[in-house]
Amino acid sequence: MSKLIPPHGGKGLICCLLEGAELEEEKKKAEGLKKIDISPREKGDLIMMGIGGFSPLNGFMTKADWKGVCENFLMADGTFWPIPVTMSVSKEDADSINEGDEIALRDPERDEIMATMKVTEKYEMTEADKKFECEKVFMGEGTATAEEFWKIAKDDHPGVQMVMNQKDVNLAGPVKVLSEAEYPTKYAGIYMRPAESRKIFEERGWSEIAAMQLRNPMHRSHEYLCKIAIEVCDGVFIHSLVGNLKPGDIPAEVRVKCIDVLVKNYFVEDKVLQGGYPLDMRYAGPREGLLHATFRQNYGCSRMIIGRDHAGVGDFYGMFEAQTIFDKIPQPEEPGKALLCKPLKIDWTFYCYKCDGMASLRTCPHSKEDRVLLSGTMLRKLLSEGGKIPDHFGRDEVLAILREYYEGLTEKVEIKLHGAATGE
């Protein structure tokens, strides 16, 4: 019997990726089907359904699932799920597809058919529906009214822009995934399926594993969070996003190099596993923290490290809103349908000159002036502009990799600062 946490949903890993003769047969069939181009976000979601990362999902959500997830964090069958996983098409394409039809889903960037899908439902997404989704998924507790939210969200929130730019009709139905795209080759040794991470955890005899979510280069605070987790768990899974980010974010290849050098020099290596997953960021703050815990459960992790402003963007969310949301979600009684991966809540961490080491707001009695209070956003801004990095913010080996990357850039993106980046 496995000592690992079971996959989410109570049905084991649901993997929609075909292999062998079945894959070849479906590929041939796909050539004769109507082809629909998908967005980068939909491509990432498809691959996660393919490899079991989104268990128990086996396709894009119905309207009942979409509405239940937005309103109550629950799919129509009562399974916990925090963020809609949907696929949109133009009205013109929707009109040419009947419920019951099979279609091929194509990645236009690679001109590759990623999956086939049996359409079980079509439902319109009006502007009001999209706004409803945005307000439920992206609006933080600190925003007093929807009107206040929309004043800034339409221009400044990449997740909101992603939803509002979706096409007019959603298609629902099960998928058969035909490809993992570029990930297995481009990120060989890092990109990982849930079955693979689970196998490694089993081989190492781990049962309590904490996941560390990364979309920024790993600085001292990240390192400290991982070390706290290692003290209370069997090991830590440093799990980097290798899908699309927003302009100005640092590419996955550079971040992976930074983690490699940190693990080699500053960790007990057999207490750490590094992996990558193929999703795009949704920048949904608290809801995305829940999504991170949900699919990390599928990867075999029992804890999700949630620190300051997890998956946040700008000043849309409270500093620790992604921690408190775990206390407010529904707890389905039916076995397997509740979220079992629990948060490892850690306060704001930093280097303190007076403490002469890493500390947190819970352990350090000193003032803001004694602390190195910076975020990944501030680090990117300083590196991009050739600014001086404060002592003790990052390891020298990591900063050398990042400086080399920034010196090689021909175009630089302006990086906006927000409260969390400056310690305000």
Residue pair 233/271 in contact by the 8 Å Cβ criterion: no
pLDDT(414) > 80 = no
Mean pLDDT of 214-237: 92
pLDDT band of 213, cuts 50, 70, 90: very high
pLDDT recorded at residue 423: 45
Mean pLDDT of 39-46: 96
pLDDT recorded at residue 422: 43
The mean-pLDDT minimum among 202-211, 272-281, 378-387 falls in 378-387
pLDDT band of 409, cuts 50, 70, 90: confident
The pTM for the full model equals 0.93
User: pLDDT tens digits for 243-265?
Assistant: 876 677 788 888 889 999 999 99
pLDDT recorded at residue 253: 86
Length of the chain: 424
SS3 content of the chain, % helix, strand, coil (to 5): 40, 20, 45
N- to C-terminal Cα separation, the chain? 49
How far apart CA 75 and CA 17 sit, in angstroms, is: 22
Do both 352 and 249 map to the same domain? yes
Do both 409 and 325 map to the same domain? yes
In a domain, 407, yes or no: yes
In a domain, 155, yes or no: no
Examine the residue annotation and report whether 204 is marked as an active-site residue of this protein: no
The residue from 181, 207, 226 where one domain ends is 181
pLDDT(413) > 70 = no
The number of beta carbons lying within 10 Å of the beta carbon of residue 306 is 27
pLDDT(377) > 80 = no
Q: Catalytic residue among 41, 106, 198, 215, which?
A: 215
Do both 361 and 398 map to the same domain? yes
In a domain, 90, yes or no: yes
pLDDT recorded at residue 249: 77
pLDDT band of 412, cuts 50, 70, 90: low
pLDDT recorded at residue 382: 84
Do both 192 and 260 map to the same domain? yes
pLDDT(417) > 70 = no
Question: How far are the Cα atoms of 61, 145, 164, 294 from residue 140, in angstroms, in the given order?
Answer: 24, 10, 18, 20
Q: What is the mean pLDDT of the chain?
A: 92
Q: Between 177 and 142, where is the model more confident? A: 177
User: pLDDT tens digits for 314-326?
Assistant: 888 988 999 999 9
pLDDT(306) > 90 = yes
Mean pLDDT of 354-377: 90
In a domain, 340, yes or no: yes
Name the residue range of residue 358's domain. Answer: 186-422
Element at 204 (helix H, strand E): helix 194-204
Do both 258 and 171 map to the same domain? no
User: pLDDT tens digits for 83-97?
Assistant: 999 999 999 999 999
In a domain, 160, yes or no: no
pLDDT(13) > 60 = yes
In a domain, 108, yes or no: yes
The CATH number of the domain holding residue 229 is 3.40.50.620
SS3 299: helix
Mean pLDDT of 234-244: 92
Do both 234 and 347 map to the same domain? yes
Do both 226 and 106 map to the same domain? no
Mean pLDDT of 355-376: 91
User: pLDDT tens digits for 125-146?
Assistant: 999 999 999 999 999 887 768 9
Q: Between 387 and 186, where is the model more confident? A: 186
Backbone angles phi, psi at 200, to 5 degrees: -65, -45
In a domain, 252, yes or no: yes
pLDDT recorded at residue 424: 43
Please give the tally of structural domains in the chain: 2
Report which of 263, 278, 248, 93 is spatially closest to residue 185, judged by C-alpha positions.
278
pLDDT(104) > 50 = yes
**How large a percentage of the chain has pLDDT more than 90?**
76
pLDDT recorded at residue 394: 87
The residues, ordered by sequence, that sit 6+ positions from 399 with a Cβ below 8 Å of its Cβ are 389
pLDDT recorded at residue 415: 54
pLDDT recorded at residue 88: 98
The mean-pLDDT minimum among 48-57, 140-149, 159-168, 364-373 falls in 140-149
In a domain, 147, yes or no: no
**CA torsion through residues 186, 188, 191, 195, sign:** positive
The CATH number of the domain holding residue 86 is 3.10.400.10
The residue from 181, 210, 229 where one domain ends is 181
Q: Catalytic residue among 41, 170, 216, 298, which?
A: 216
Examine the residue annotation and report whether 380 is marked as an active-site residue of this protein: no
Mean pLDDT of 103-115: 97
Mean pLDDT of 293-314: 93
